[in-house]
Amino acid sequence: MSSADLHDTMIQSASPAGPVIILVQPQLAENIGMTARAMANFGLSELRLVAPKNGWPKKGVREAASGATHVLDGASVHATLAEAIADLHYVLATTARERGQMKRVLAPDAAMRDVVARAGQRTGILFGRERAGLDNDEVSFADAIVTFPVDARFSSLNLAQGVLLMSYEWRRAAGLSVLPFTGEMLSPPATREAMGSLFATLEDSLGSAGFYPPEKRDIIARNMRDMLHRMAMTEQDVRTMRGALRALTLRRPRRNTSGQP
């Protein structure tokens, strides 16, 4: 096992158990596949389907999953919602509509903090049909409701989008949302000596090109030094800039600024 594989294994073994994603009567194979993809993006893996419209889909689901086949391979199909959640201790129901039921209503971030805090418990999140969502009886199985702070003028979410949002918030709440790269500087900051050498090269090149009005040379030179300092240049930046200046100088004959023929 490589060191990278070992590192990934250690992270997975230390990660809290994620919630089960439960789709109630999903209608489209593509949505099931995209749900699997959304789950895999953020480290969730257990998918359950309740009475999918046409049974387990045979076409389109794996293509839509875009490689998240481990989620699909481990998915289970259940005849009823009660069967699908029988082994769970805590269940959330997602809905965009007021249900008039005496349940806590949580935003996704608060809901996933609650899930993460329930260490040792099996948790699940219910998602309803693409067109109609969950019915009131199905919502009554849940301990709390999760709704999204969407624009009231267009509150409809695609099934996989809803799963993606919840999966993302779970990963954040679980402390696993580490960016895959940082964009940090690979070259150290330029030293004052390197900057001074760049200024000298730049000012000499501009002087040879006749850039400076004689009475404003010092002012312009200071302004350009200030500008380059604001860029917080690295050693590599300075080398690149000096190389560019050398290339321009070598390709251009030096201008005679002495006034002599």
Ordered structural domains, the chain, with CATH: 3-173 (3.40.1280.10), 192-251 (no CATH)
**Mind giving me the DSSP string for the chain?**
--HHHHHHHHHHHHSPPPPEEEEES---HHHHHHHHHHHHHTT---EEEES-BTBS--SSHHHHHTT-HHHHHT-EEESSHHHHTTT-SEEEEE-SS----S-EEE-HHHHHHHHHHSTTS-EEEEE-BTTTB--HHHHTT-SEEE-----TTS----HHHHHHHHHHHHHHHTT----S-----SSPBPPHHHHHHHHHHHHHHHHHTT-S-GGGHHHHHHHHHHHHHHTT-BHHHHHHHHHHHHHHHHHSPPP--SS--
CA distance 83 to 141: 11
Nearest-CA neighbor of 160 among 26, 35, 68, 60? 35
Q: Provide the pLDDT confidence category of residue 251 given band limits of 50, 70 and 90.
A: low
Q: Quick count: other Cβ atoms within 10 Å of Cβ 83?
A: 14
Would you say residue 4 has pLDDT above 50? Answer: no
- State if pTM tops 0.75: no
Q: Provide the pLDDT confidence category of residue 10 given band limits of 50, 70 and 90.
A: very low
Look at 92-101, 163-172, 222-231 and tell me which has the smallest mean pLDDT.
Answer: 92-101
Q: Provide the pLDDT confidence category of residue 154 given band limits of 50, 70 and 90.
A: confident
What's residue 248's pLDDT?
83
Contact 27, 61 (CB under 8 A): no
Percent over 70 (pLDDT), the chain: 89
Percent over 90 (pLDDT), the chain: 43
pLDDT, tens only, 159-212: 999 999 999 999 999 888 777 777 776 788 889 999 999 888 888 888 888 888
What's residue 8's pLDDT?
45
What's residue 100's pLDDT?
73
What's residue 1's pLDDT?
45
Nearest-CA neighbor of 204 among 257, 251, 152? 257
Would you say residue 20 has pLDDT above 60? Answer: yes
Q: What is the mean pLDDT of residues 104-110?
A: 93
Would you say residue 19 has pLDDT above 50? Answer: yes
